[in-house]
Amino acid sequence: MALRRRIRWLVGVLLLGLLISGATAIPLQTETGWLAWFSSAQWLIRVHTALVQVQSQYPFLFYGTDWLAFGHFMIAVAFIGALKDPVRNRWLFDFGLIACALVIPWALIFGAARGIPFWWRLIDCSFGVFGFVPLWFCRIWAKKLDERRAETNFPPQR
């Protein structure tokens, strides 16, 4: 069925995004070093310098980003249910939509509190926007699948 394939494809994209996002939370020092070197952006150079200092003096603080990665991986595991049966697990699309919507105020509020530049907070907000779109379509398509399934199993009585 075409709807099921489209849902699986978009959920697969979402899973890939979650896995990549989670995996990038682990080697922060290396990644920021590359970004700072390629871009020469003062903010990224500052972030990389801070990470190098933290790594040398307080490496245990990176345990928090290890758990951040774990959270991404576990959310991805949950969405396997939507991959298998998008109708029965349609609630995952609602969960994902709520999470994506909350990314925006979370990034704006806590980013401001932590002194993160506004342009970087907008990059963080974009994860919520880019995640919202495929989840919205998946939610609509799963509902259509459910309606079709209901029509097939329960024909109208005369």
pLDDT of 105-127, one tens digit each?
999 999 999 999 999 999 999 99
Residue 89 one-letter amino acid:
N
Please report the sign of the dihedral spanned by the C-alpha atoms of residue 35, residue 71, residue 131, residue 100: negative
Query: What is the predicted pLDDT for the residue at 151?
Result: 85
pTM for the structure as a whole:
0.86
Residue 156, pLDDT above cutoff 80: no
Q: What is the mean pLDDT of residues 119-140?
A: 96
- Nearest-10 Cα torsion for 129, 133, 134, 137: 160
Q: What is the mean pLDDT of residues 13-35?
A: 95
CA distance 155 to 158: 9
Spatial CB neighbours of 109, under 8 Å, sequence gap ≥ 6: none
User: What percentage of the chain reaches a pLDDT higher than 90?
Assistant: 92
And the tokens for 100?
């994506």
137 close to 10: Cβ distance less than 8 angstroms: yes
